[in-house]
């Protein structure tokens, strides 16, 4: 079929009767199609509409039946599905699914030709038709995705779909999302919901991380103790890994696993949504749950228990014949459950301590002519690769499998940046790109002080969208080995389904467009303008998605007269920012931000983006604390230089901004390897009677409170008179956070205030790292 002239979606050549804004409103599709020609008019689905499909093609018929049922469930229209009759093309209001032979579409491509009377959907097979249906859902009103009939008036129900012509196919053959169910377990019902959302975004691979140190989550008939013992941990660490010193545990047994029947159910369910499930069975590291069940598979006798906290553990599989027999039996059962081409065998974060200490491993290294333990890991992976390949499958491993030499048939999943993927592609190995800086959806989405708990690192929506999996430094021949891209969702800090959804959406939608849309058509501004309609769809699906993209951005600076000026900027889609100054949650009646605010006292500022009177931000989330004192905006000198890791960037200690923390991230603090000392020039002599200092207590990272604080004042900046020496508790552990310590003294008059905080020197006994060099970290210093 010869195509008509194609108009690129949101391009410069939109039909003259459509404005830019109208086009965005009418065709809010994610991921953006490869080609879209807007047309005037709408196709209206009503009770008289019928759907035609060749009923002899069972796979296609099932897809179309689901489409019709979705429409009927949400509207009550009762649209019928009939056998394909090409002669009826011009006879009425009709949706026609027509298989074609067209190599330009490929296996996953499709065409939609929609006029006001006829919608024709063409593809070469079920995959293309399935993706066409996902596009149809996004052309229809969001209500079509509701699980039950939408309440309405007496009018005859109908659905309007804008007329258009689309020809579409994906950029990459591998478009994946991952889910870790070992650290926290999620029921089959949520796994299916996760797959449903993947399907709507045209992902085609679900990477199911089933085993790790904290739990073995898949039933293996030959080894029942894997789930009897390995699926249960006695308790779980509370909060973030570094939240408490010493660490705190909840004392509650935690477990869960999937039976083989449940696994088959998930695999079948995913297949109906054109999604292949890739299981991951970790080896040779991240094996503690398996070793708890079968300690004879380790290099030392044990006993072992499933891990109760996160991280990397030195207990790994020992490369004995007994271990390989075990792994081959496990993988045989796994391959019987998962019919897809790939089996993921992990291969990451495998410490070599146990192998170095093992006489057996050292003898094996010599016997096989290996240089070191890295080559032993390569030998281990190669042996598993040969077994899996012999069963007609292929292995995927994390990029550590490159160390010591890459197994011949392995596909590399590059997570430690892009270097491993580039190296593997140059060696002509297939690669799936999933670098943490762009694809780890358990990282924070915005301001660490505002986001719920996550692993750490900041990965905003725009950064996900901006990623290009095909590295420019690869030659065209090497680039063909980049199969695609995957988003990873590690669940250490995601104990509930709602938290998983918050971290995944909408960032996974941005990744879907990375994976599907031609690079030349990607445009973040266009993507952002499609978000309101997209969020409406997620609302209908009751997804707990993040609206961090709408969070107002803050800039603050001290003024010459000692106040703090706070400016806020909204997302381009927000019509207003509303705020409060007393810590209360903003509403549609709260003051509207018009110009920078001038704060003359300590203030708890909350702000949220609004469209008209409707809040767009998560209302209770964005809160900033600002401090105003005699020291605000005043100059000061350091008595000791800050560390290079957390330097003083422009008088941070008197700028009125308080520090923040989330995950492993700390913002707006200045750290010191030794004592902290500063002299503040208040500009003129004036009464003073107190100093308050914000200290970061983060003893898990060796940042302690001081042992003593000395305060002195001066009239000339040269001769100082002491006004206070105060002992503080440098050995205080507990929950990390900011401690604003007050120091009051007899009222006096002075122009200069000298503050010295004495470092304890080494981390005190009773904390996590006793004897290690201690640091001080300072937030804001107040003088009153």
* Residues 550-588: tens digit of each pLDDT: 999 899 999 999 999 999 998 777 779 999 999 899 999
Q: How far is CA 578 from CA 84, 558, 607, 619, in A?
A: 55, 22, 6, 10
Give dist(CA 350, CA 550) in Å, integer.
40
760's tokens: 């304890």
Give dist(CA 222, CA 294) in Å, integer.
12
State pTM to two decimals. 0.94
Largest CA distance in the chain: 101
58 CB-near residues (< 8 Å, 6+ apart)? none
pLDDT tens track for 382-440: 999 999 999 999 999 999 999 888 888 899 999 999 999 999 999 999 999 999 999 99
pLDDT tens track for 328-383: 999 999 999 999 999 999 999 999 999 999 999 999 999 999 999 999 999 999 99
Per residue, the 3-state secondary structure of 30-55, as one string, reads: CCCCCEEEEEEEEEEECCCCEEEECC
pLDDT tens track for 634-656: 999 999 999 999 999 989 999 99
pLDDT, residue 88, reads 56
Cβ–Cβ < 8 Å for 202, 131: yes
Tell the residue number behind the tokens 């090497």, with chain if given.
478
pLDDT confidence band for 86 (50 / 70 / 90): low
How would you classify residue 126: left for phi > 0, otherwise alpha for psi between -120 and 50, otherwise beta?
A: alpha
Tell the residue number behind the tokens 């503080």, with chain if given.
728
The CATH architecture one would assign to domain 636-783 is: Sandwich (2.60)
Confidence check: pLDDT of 614 > 90: no
pLDDT confidence band for 151 (50 / 70 / 90): low
Give the domain 20-168 fold: Chitobiase; domain 2 (3.30.379)
Q: Supply the CATH classification number for the domain 174-516.
A: 3.20.20.80
The DSSP bridge pattern shows strands 276-283 and 205-209 to be parallel
pLDDT tens track for 476-491: 999 999 999 999 999 9
Give dist(CA 684, CA 473) in Å, integer.
59
pLDDT confidence band for 118 (50 / 70 / 90): very high
pLDDT confidence band for 150 (50 / 70 / 90): low
Q: What is the DSSP letter of 118?
A: E
Give dist(CA 307, CA 588) in Å, integer.
48
Q: What percent of the chain has pLDDT above 90?
A: 86
Q: Could you tell me the end-to-end alpha-carbon distance of the chain, in angstroms, rounded to an integer? A: 80
Give dist(CA 561, CA 600) in Å, integer.
10
Q: Supply the CATH classification number for the domain 548-626.
A: 2.60.40
Active-site positions?
349
The DSSP bridge pattern shows strands 232-233 and 394-398 to be unpaired
Cβ–Cβ < 8 Å for 358, 318: yes
Confidence check: pLDDT of 112 > 80: yes
Average pLDDT, stretch 730-752?
96
The mean of the pLDDT values for the chain is 93
Give dist(CA 586, CA 619) in Å, integer.
7
Tell the residue number behind the tokens 């085609």, with chain if given.
204
Per CATH, 548-626 and 636-783 having the same topology is answered no
The domains of the chain are located at 20-168, 174-516, 548-626, 636-783
pLDDT confidence band for 87 (50 / 70 / 90): low
- H helical segments located in 272-372: 288-293, 321-337, 353-357, 359-367
Confidence check: pLDDT of 301 > 70: yes
């Amino acid at each position: 079929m010869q195509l008509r002239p194609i108009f690129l979606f949101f391009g410069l050549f939109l039909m003259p009767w459509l404005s830019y804004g109208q086009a965005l409103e009418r065709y809010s599709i994610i991921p953006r199609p490869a080609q879209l020609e807007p047309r005037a008019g709408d196709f209206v689905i009503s009770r008289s509409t019928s759907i035609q499909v060749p009923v002899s093609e069972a796979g296609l018929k099932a897809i179309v039946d689901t489409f019709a049922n979705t429409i009927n469930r949400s509207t009550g229209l009762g649209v019928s599905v009939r056998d394909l009759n090409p002669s009826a093309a011009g006879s009425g209001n009709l949706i026609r699914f027509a298989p074609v032979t067209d190599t330009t579409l490929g296996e996953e491509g499709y065409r939609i030709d929609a006029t006001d009377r006829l919608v024709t959907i063409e593809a070469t097979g079920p995959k293309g038709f399935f993706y066409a249906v996902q596009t149809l859902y996004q052309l229809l009103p969001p209500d079509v995705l509701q699980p039950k009939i939408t309440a309405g008036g007496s009018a005859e129900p109908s659905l309007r779909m804008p007329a258009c012509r689309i020809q579409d196919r994906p950029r990459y053959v591998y478009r994946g999302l991952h889910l870790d169910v070992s650290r926290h377990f999620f029921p089959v019902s949520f796994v299916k919901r996760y797959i449903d959302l993947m399907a709507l975004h045209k992902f085609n691979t679900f990477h199911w991380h089933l085993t790790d140190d904290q739990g073995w989550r898949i039933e293996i008939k030959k080894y029942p103790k894997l789930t009897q013992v390995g699926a249960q941990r006695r308790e779980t660490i509370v909060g973030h890994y570094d939240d408490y010193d010493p660490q705190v545990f909840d004392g509650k047994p935690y477990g869960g696993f999937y039976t083989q029947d449940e696994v088959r159910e998930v695999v079948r369910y995913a297949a109906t949504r054109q999604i292949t499930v890739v299981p991951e069975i970790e080896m040779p590291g991240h094996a503690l749950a398996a070793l708890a069940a079968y300690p004879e598979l380790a290099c030392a006798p044990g006993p072992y228990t499933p891990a109760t906290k996160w991280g990397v553990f030195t207990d790994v599989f020992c490369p004995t014949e007994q271990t390989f027999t075990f792994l081959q039996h496990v993988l045989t059962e796994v391959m019987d459950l998962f019919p897809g081409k790939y089996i993921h065998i992990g291969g990451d974060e495998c410490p070599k301590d146990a192998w170095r200490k093992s006489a057996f491993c050292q003898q094996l290294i010599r016997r096989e002519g290996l240089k070191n333990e890295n080559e032993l890991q390569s030998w281990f992976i190669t042996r598993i690769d040969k077994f899996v390949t012999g069963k007609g499958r292929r292995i995927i491993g994390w990029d550590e499998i490159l160390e010591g030499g890459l197994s011949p048939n392995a596909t590399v999943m590059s997570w430690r940046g892009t270097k491993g993927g580039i190296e593997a592609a140059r060696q002509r190995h297939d690669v799936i790109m999933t670098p943490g800086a762009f694809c780890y959806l358990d990282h924070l989405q915005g301001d660490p002080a505002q986001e719920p708990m996550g692993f750490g690192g900041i990965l905003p929506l725009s950064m996900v969208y901006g990623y290009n999996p095909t590295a420019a430094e690869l030659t065209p021949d090497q680039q063909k080995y980049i199969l695609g891209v995957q988003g990873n969702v590690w669940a250490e800090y995601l104990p509930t389904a709602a938290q998983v959804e918050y971290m995944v959406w909408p960032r996974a939608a941005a990744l879907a467009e990375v994976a599907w849309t031609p690079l030349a058509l990607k445009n973040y501004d266009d993507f952002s303008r499609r978000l309101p309609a997209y969020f409406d769809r997620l609302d209908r699906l009751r997804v707990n998605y993040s609206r961090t993209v709408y969070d107002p951005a803050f800039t603050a600076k001290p003024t010459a007269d000692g106040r703090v000026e706070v400016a806020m900027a909204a997302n381009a889609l927000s019509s207003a920012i509303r705020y409060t100054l007393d810590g209360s949650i903003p509403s549609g009646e709260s003051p509207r931000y018009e110009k920078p605010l001038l704060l003359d006292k300590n203030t708890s500022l909350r702000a949220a983006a609004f469209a008209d009177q409707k809040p767009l931000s998560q209302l209770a989330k964005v809160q900033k604390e600002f401090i105003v004192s005699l020291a605000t905006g005043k100059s000061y000198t350091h008595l000791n230089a800050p560390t290079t890791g957390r330097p003083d960037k422009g008088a941070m200690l008197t700028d009125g901004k308080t520090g923040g923390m989330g995950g492993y991230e700390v913002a707006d603090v200045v750290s010191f390897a030794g004592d902290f000392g500063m002299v503040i020039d208040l500009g003129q002599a004036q009464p003073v009677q107190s100093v308050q200092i914000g200290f970061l207590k983060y003893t898990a990272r060796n940042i302690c409170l001081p042992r003593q604080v000395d305060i002195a004042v001066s009239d000339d900046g040269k001769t100082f008179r002491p006004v206070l020496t105060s002992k503080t508790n440098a050995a205080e552990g507990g929950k990390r956070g900011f401690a604003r310590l007050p120091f009051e003294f007899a009222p006096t008059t002075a122009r200069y205030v000298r503050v010295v905080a004495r470092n304890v020197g080494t981390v005190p006994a009773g904390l996590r790292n006793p004897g290690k060099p201690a640091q001080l970290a300072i937030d804001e210093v107040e003088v009153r």
